[in-house]
Amino acid sequence: MAQHTVTVRGLVRQFGDRRVLDDLDLVVRQGEFVALLGRSGSGKSTLLRVLAGLDREADGETTVNGTVSVAFQQPRLLPWRRVWRNVSLGLHGVDARSVADKALAEVQLTDHAQAWPLTLSGGEAQRVSLARALVREPDLLLLDEPFGALDALTRLAMHRLVDDLWQRHRPSVLLVTHDIDEALALADRVLVLDEGRIVAEHTPPVGRPRRHADLTELRTRVLADLGVTLDEAA
């Protein structure tokens, strides 16, 4: 059996009286792409922060095997460092420039290596952020609603890019999102988080790239898990 990249058991995170994560269990297998769906306030970002090591106040057992990298909702680039430096800074013992150039080529931003981050569009900045996360060759890639601030067309292009990069590098991925279509298009497994627990699990059809038409029925079921019936939605 393949080793698990993430093993979480009985995870509890409390802010005051509020249990944001309530006895949560989660396993992410090596090379698996897992999407975590939930409304705002369901605890999905808190879970990601715990896995990233940014929140050390949680109780329970959390094991992450290997290195972790994160792409956040905002690209969080250093505006005073050129794009290629943003990709390679913090890497040690490598030829920074060539490693950065290779990563930027993968996200089709070779021409922007020398640019200042503030000159990039939202989609370009997010691609730099992805390149920066991937160049560290993480065993676990955490994506915190990284396409939430992008327009619909750019978001679709980003989905293809992430799918592509994941197939090439095969890290385990945990994608936190509230976009059902995004989750269904990309993930091997879609988990629905509500009130700090995983309340449902779905497995989209295996083939990639997935066609929207094949997902209609599953989409309805996931929506129901999130407490939205189509009558209501209409």
Binding site residues, another protein, CB under 8 A: 52-54, 68-70, 72, 74, 76, 78-81, 89-92, 116-119, 132-133, 136
Strand partners, 6: 28, 64
Shortest Å distance, C-beta 8 to another protein: 18
Q: What is the spatial distance between Cα 56 and Cα 50, in angstroms, rounded to a whole number?
A: 7
Shortest Å distance, C-beta 137 to another protein: 12
Pick 71 or 222: Cβ nearer another protein: 71
Q: What is the spatial distance between Cα 121 and Cα 105, in angstroms, rounded to a whole number?
A: 17
Helix (H) or strand (E) holding 44: helix 44-51
Pick 72 or 220: Cβ nearer another protein: 72
Shortest Å distance, C-beta 225 to another protein: 30
Pick 145 or 225: Cβ nearer another protein: 145
Pick 76 or 212: Cβ nearer another protein: 76
Residue type at position 134: L
Shortest Å distance, C-beta 180 to another protein: 27
Q: What is the spatial distance between Cα 55 and Cα 200, in angstroms, rounded to a whole number?
A: 25
Instruction: Considering only the C-alpha atoms of the chain, give the largest distance between any 2 of them, rounded to a whole number of Å.
Output: 57
DSSP string, 150-164: S-HHHHHHHHHHHHH
